[in-house]
Amino acid sequence: MTGADAPSTKSDSPRLFWLTSLAGIGVFVLAIGLDAMLPVSLLDYTPATSPAAARNFFIGAMATAPLVGLLALFMRTSYPPLERFKAAQIDFLSDLGFSLSPFRIVIIGLVAGLGEEALFRGVLQSYAATATPLVIAILLPNILFGLLHARTALYAIIAGTLGTYLGALFAATGDLVAPAATHALYDMAALEIARREIEKRGAD
């Protein structure tokens, strides 16, 4: 089987997949709500022209490359603490309750990239920048970003560091296209690697 119904986890609930996706969309809705309440505007961080959007998407795609390179190195590690962390992450994804497939990976990546970047970079970082130096404005939202991803302490640190990278990209480009593209593409790459690892386990 292939596509959206390809099994790669212990159980597969399409309903749970769509509920998870809706939760991600909820993050975007939260960003819009906060945007209306705070003296920031997400529209200020969207490209004015199609060429500008294409340029910043390309920048975001290129900014994904070092992250995927580091991920590839991590997947080859034989250092015991990292091996245990890697196994725990694969276990977590294997037990999601729904299978990963290329279609679902794309949806998850898009939802996370758009929603989380709108909230953490477009709203929280922008608002922090109105009252603090840029470095602090980048770091503060990513402490929260890391804590909200704290399945383990190491995962929280990795997520916070990734968020800081995305925050710097947002500050450098001045709009959300580049960090959203990087976030989405990286998540897709990471989930695809995980999907293959899960399938490899099933074949063993």
Q: Which residue has the tokens 């804590």?
A: 147
Whole-Å CA distances, 29 to 35, 45, 176: 10, 16, 16
Q: What is the pLDDT of residues 141-170, one digit of tens each?
A: 999 999 998 888 999 999 999 999 999 999
Mean pLDDT of 191-198: 94
Length in residues, the chain = 204
Which two three-digit tokens encode residue 163? 């968020």
Q: Which helix (H) or strand (E) holds 48?
A: none
Q: What is the pLDDT of residues 67-109, one digit of tens each?
A: 999 999 999 988 898 999 999 999 999 998 999 999 999 999 9
Beta-carbon count within 10 A of 55 CB: 15
